[in-house]
Amino acid sequence: MSRIDPLQTFVAVVRTRNFTSAADSLGVTPSAVSKQISTLEERLGVRLLNRTTRSVSPTEAGQMFYQHCENILDSISEAEKLVTDFDDTPKGRLRITAMSNFGRRELARIFNDFSNEYPDISFDLHISDRPVDIVKEGFDFALRIGSLEDSRLIAKPVAEQRIVICASPEYLKKWGTPASLEDLANHRILIVANAEYARINWLRQFEKDHGFSLAGIERKLTVNDIDLVYEACIAGMGITALPTYIAERHLNNGELVRLFNEMDIPIRTIKVVFPQNRYLANKSRAFLDFITAYFSHS
């Protein structure tokens, strides 16, 4: 481990850009920091830092070395956590972000059941339909639907999201029931349009799969919140597509009517997303295993 200490010192100096600040963070003297850096440069045979009277900055070689040092130290830290966590009861706080409607309707019940099983784990839940950078913003997990576009992340499928096209009986009584997709051109269409749901827009998929377009329709209500679209549909304002976890109860009690039963609507996958190359603490592994099992039995 004697070769690790100079790496920790070097990383501290690059992060703080100052020998004194680095020394304070490490609990040693500035002269000890300077000596370790000089010894490291001498051993490697390359200058790692540019030094001035006011600041310190890495050389080109130093910047490359710094990136590798960070990875090495992170790996050591994760290995230590793995061992020290081995026999520990899962505990601590989890930071989780999820889409607004899914979060409101599904996660309260999930978190209640999870908390009954793991009472020492608490939650910081962030509900948002904007794209959240979970690495930058420090989240342990995100619950998402659609494709994964960030190579820094791992996505574990946990459930399916099924979509139904529907309208209220009052709307259909007034406007008639469409018999074909082309008939939708004569109807009011309710569309969700926000950063999260834009990628799962049912109309785009239908247009692609069935070769028609609703681009020229004037009777459209475009809203950036799926809850408002859902309420508008029940109120009789138009036809829309809703996830079954929203629509199912209303279909069963007759408040909504399902349309185009014979058509296959693409099924979307609900994923638990988390940063790759990150040690999964007991609390995180417990949540990942729990939510996977939860949906597999639901």
Residue pair 145/99 in contact (Cβ under 8 Å)? The answer is yes
**Would you call 59 exposed, middle or buried from its count of C-beta atoms within 10 A (0-12, 13-18, 19+)?**
middle
Residue ranges in the chain whose pLDDT is less than 50: 1, 195-196, 198-200
CA distance 16 to 38: 17
**Quick one: tokens of 292?**
């996977």
Side chain identity at 98, as an amino acid letter?
A
Q: What is the pLDDT of residue 286?
A: 92
Q: What is the pLDDT of residue 150?
A: 65
**Could you give phi then psi for residue 213, rounded to 5 degrees?**
-140, 140
Q: What is the pLDDT of residue 215?
A: 66
CA distance 220 to 70: 52
**Could you give phi then psi for residue 156, rounded to 5 degrees?**
-110, 115
Q: What Rg value do the Cα atoms of the chain yield, rounded?
A: 27
**Could you give phi then psi for residue 141, rounded to 5 degrees?**
-145, 155
pTM of the model as a whole = 0.59
Interval 96-130: pLDDT, tens: 998 877 777 778 888 899 999 999 999 888 887 77
Q: How far is CA 184 from CA 92, 175, 176, 268, in A?
A: 51, 11, 10, 23
